[in-house]
Amino acid sequence: MPTDPPATLAAWLRTRSDEQLSALLAARPDVARPAPSDVVALASRLAVPVSVDRALDELDAATLQVLDVVLLAPTDGVAPDELVAALPDLPEDVLDAALDRLKGRALLWGDDVLHAPDPVRRAVRHPAGLGRRAGELRIQLPTDLPAAMGSLDPDEVAVLERLAGERPVGHLPDSPADGTRTPARRLLQKGLLARIDALNVELPREIGLHLRGDRPYGPPRTRPEPPVQSSEQGTVDRRAAGAALESVGKVGELLGLLEEEPAGLLRSGGVGVRDQKRLARALHIGEPEAAWLLELAYTAGLLDVGGPHRDEWLPTRGYDIWREQDLPDRWAALAAGWLAGVRLPSLVGQRDVAGKAVNPLSPDLVRHTAPAIRRSALTVLAEHPPGSGLAPADLVTLLRWRTPRRADRLAPVPAMLEEAARLGIVVGGVLSTAGRGLLSSGEDGAAEGMRGLLPEPVDHVLAQPDLSLIAPGPLVSELADTLAVVADVESSGGATVFRVSESSVRRALDFGWSASDLHEFFARASRTPVPQALDYLIDDVARQHGRLRVGAVESYVRSDDHGLLSQVLNDRRTASAELRRLAPGVLVSGLGADEVLTVLRDAGYAPAGESPGGGVLTRPPARPRAAGRRTVETSTGPRPLTDAELSTTVREIRAGDAALSARRGEAVRQIPGVTTAGTLELLSRAVREGTPVWLGYVDAQGSGSQRVVRPVSLVGGFLQGYDERRGENSTFAVHRITSVAVVEEDQETATTS
């Protein structure tokens, strides 16, 4: 016997199979948490405007064109055959896939006749790029529209044709100074345009359809097929490894500099221009590159503000862990941070609304859509076979087709691709193997894709006669730490060049090294003979080091060389130390020892700190750290549901729907704590016949709930049975049951078929 077609979205959802409901929840996971109580609740969530907008944003242009036909239909409901007639140039497989996508997301419902829910109609303001009807715009069109259109001037026709394209709303230009009216204003006067506010006009739908003629929905929006770029994947991966190695090295150098001299935090947030210039100069790179490295380190969790009482940008504690990792893992941390970060480094240097340039690490760089845009761009590249890719302009074209409602957010894509190329995720429009791993398996997949491509860290350097040290690759962390004390980085790249100088040797001596320690270190670390000039430099600096001693009086300066003390006392460069002679060989100051040490070193002397016992006071390098963010600053959409979650949610919806059907019948109700004969009789019958029942139940904490239960036994005041919603066997105290009703088998079958 034929059944009447469902009259509402909820009724139609009730006819869907478990597999179809699971597909719906997988496509729109935002409506699945927490699990809807029944199908009516699910239909209500599907109508929430935010959820509808999110679902529409994920549709491609062809699917939206099919939806437009339904939205523009003169009646509520369109038969599938009418869609074929309305879009004759759209391939049948494309049309079928679009319908499956729309019905699978409940953006259309029905089988023989397709309906669009009202929230979908409200969300699509200009279907097919057409304006609202003249009646909705409150204007009266000419009675003979073709004649009125035929009498227009060419410039007026041009305005109408432009508005009949993809956007029916346009800006109303000001009238010229000579008093003549613009074409748009003449069209307003003729009743062919509608004013929607003081500055904008809208083209009525009837005129747009007239201008489009036999193509009311525009040309078929089939998928564009841009030319594919090809490269040998091995070459791509080798170039990606080079970019990855440089990125890891530069970030490490940057954080080393900030460890020695943190960057100040601006009042408005971010890093100031002075610190940006300092870092760029020290790294021998441009200021935009320095800003990019700061942003990269921040998104990877390696850089942050030192805390509420230390307004400086410092390496985090995570940086210490990062430095101990192997190169692929270090690179993967940077790449994963970039992919998930909500910041747009490409905006650094651009002017904000107040005309001020945006600083690195500024809050103004936050864009919560950035992760989704990056992932969508890389996903398109990943759909091509290894070694194939797209040019940036072609990629943007394809993205505009895939998500036309998000087209206005795609402006950063070219800059994002440049950033991906800097990291080695993309090379020449082709996704690297590590980039594919990052997209599919996250940080672990990215690291695995780089293994075997990046060099192993080396544990030696090559000493040169000009006092330089060449590291023929990335250094093990212990050697890198030591070289940071005894030498300065001169240049970096595939091989890093360090320079040993008088100041670097003095720095090592200040940290507690002795001359013999330095000789031994260089002899052990260098694979080439240590040049004689380096030995002489160490001995000369060590001979001068510590001849002056600084202690606390607030502080004192002492030396066995009385002439040297007189020189210091009379040196105008040391006037700020406020020194005075206390006794032969001793000067004192009202300043602290650290301040006096700084003044004397800046003046070119080589003082050493002194402990209370008279020994040289060594000061190991301080390593200030920021605590770091507790959570990485990311923004993602709703988390996808697992198969187990989908199965559980569908089961709970079905159980709730069965309970809803039961509640429509006659239910036995009672006062909690008082068990009636009617309740016991109904439960006993359900146990004998194996019939599911709907229970109103209050637990020990006083929380009420509704359950659909298949009873197994009723013994000693307790009902045991299978809880349909929770998918487990449960025990219920009879005295806590507040109401009970039998769920008819035909009702339950109808909801689960």
Contact by Cβ (8 Å): 114, 80:
yes
Lowest mean pLDDT among 32-36, 381-385, 546-550: 546-550
Q: CA torsion sign, 737 to 742 to 747 to 749?
A: positive
Nearest-angstrom CA–CA distance, 85 and 87: 6
Beta strands in 370-444 (DSSP E): 388-389, 426-427, 430-431
Residue of 697, 708, 692, 703 whose CA lies nearest to 660: 708
* 29: pLDDT strictly greater than 90: yes
* 674: pLDDT strictly greater than 60: no
Most confident of 31-45, 364-378, 675-689: 364-378
- pLDDT value, residue 630: 42
Residue type, 401: W
- pLDDT value, residue 637: 64
Mean pLDDT for the stretch of residues 380-402: 95
Q: Which tokens is 315 given? A: 């390496």
Mean pLDDT for the stretch of residues 467-489: 85
Residue of 232, 251, 228, 229 whose CA lies nearest to 240: 232
3-state secondary structure of 423: helix
Choose between 551 and 497: higher pLDDT: 497
Nearest-angstrom CA–CA distance, 58 and 56: 5
Average confidence score pLDDT of the chain: 86
- pLDDT value, residue 614: 65
Nearest-angstrom CA–CA distance, 13 and 28: 14
- pLDDT value, residue 728: 82
Residue of 470, 362, 380 whose CA lies nearest to 430: 380
Supply angle C-alpha 231, 235, 237, rounded to 5: 105
CATH of 9-124, picked from 3.40.630, 1.10.260, 1.10.3470, 1.10.10, is 1.10.10
Taking every pair of C-alpha atoms in the chain, what is the biggest distance, in angstroms? 119
DSSP 357: B
**Dihedral Cα 417, 422, 424, 428, nearest 10 deg:** 50
Lowest mean pLDDT among 617-631, 634-648, 651-665: 617-631
3-state secondary structure of 402: helix
Lowest mean pLDDT among 190-204, 378-392, 396-410, 647-661: 647-661
- pLDDT value, residue 304: 92
- pLDDT value, residue 748: 41
Percent of the chain residues topping a pLDDT of 70: 91
pLDDT band, very low/low/confident/very high, at 638 (cuts 50, 70, 90): confident
CATH level 2 (architecture), domain 643-752 = Roll (2.30)
- pLDDT value, residue 625: 77
Contact by Cβ (8 Å): 399, 405:
no
Nearest-angstrom CA–CA distance, 357 and 360: 10
For 70-122, what is each residue's pLDDT tens digit? Answer: 999 888 889 988 998 899 989 999 999 999 999 999 999 998 899 999 999 99
Nearest-angstrom CA–CA distance, 639 and 641: 6
Q: Which tokens is 567 given? A: 């020189």
- Which residues have a Cβ under 8 Å from the Cβ of 96 and sit 6 or more positions away? none
Query: Nearest 5°: phi and psi at 340?
Result: -95, -5
* H or E stretch covering 520: helix 515-525
For 212-268, what is each residue's pLDDT tens digit? Answer: 988 899 888 999 999 999 999 999 999 999 999 999 989 998 998 998 889 999 988
Residue for token pair 């460069």:
573
Lowest mean pLDDT among 166-170, 398-402, 735-739: 735-739
Tell me the β-bridge partners of 202: 169, 194
Supply angle C-alpha 104, 109, 111, rounded to 5: 100
Query: Nearest 5°: phi and psi at 280?
Result: -65, -40
* 3: pLDDT strictly greater than 70: no
**What are the boundaries of each domain within the chain?**
9-124, 134-212, 229-450, 462-527, 549-605, 643-752
- pLDDT value, residue 26: 95
DSSP 573: G
Lowest mean pLDDT among 203-212, 303-312, 409-418, 560-569: 303-312
Which DSSP string do the residues of 700-723 spell out, in sequence order? TTS-EEEEEEEEEEEETTEEEEEE
Q: How far is CA 278 from each of CA 291, 362, 572, rounded to the nearest angstrom?
A: 11, 18, 29
Burial of 28 (0-12, 13-18, 19+ CB in 10 A): buried
* 749: pLDDT strictly greater than 70: no
Nearest-angstrom CA–CA distance, 418 and 429: 10
Residue of 35, 57, 34, 31 whose CA lies nearest to 45: 31
pTM over 0.85: no
Nearest-angstrom CA–CA distance, 405 and 329: 37
- pLDDT value, residue 59: 96
Q: How many CB atoms lie within 10 A of CB 85?
A: 9
For 170-184, what is each residue's pLDDT tens digit? Answer: 988 877 766 678 889
- pLDDT value, residue 633: 46
For 114-161, what is each residue's pLDDT tens digit? Answer: 999 999 999 999 999 999 999 889 899 988 888 989 899 999 999 999
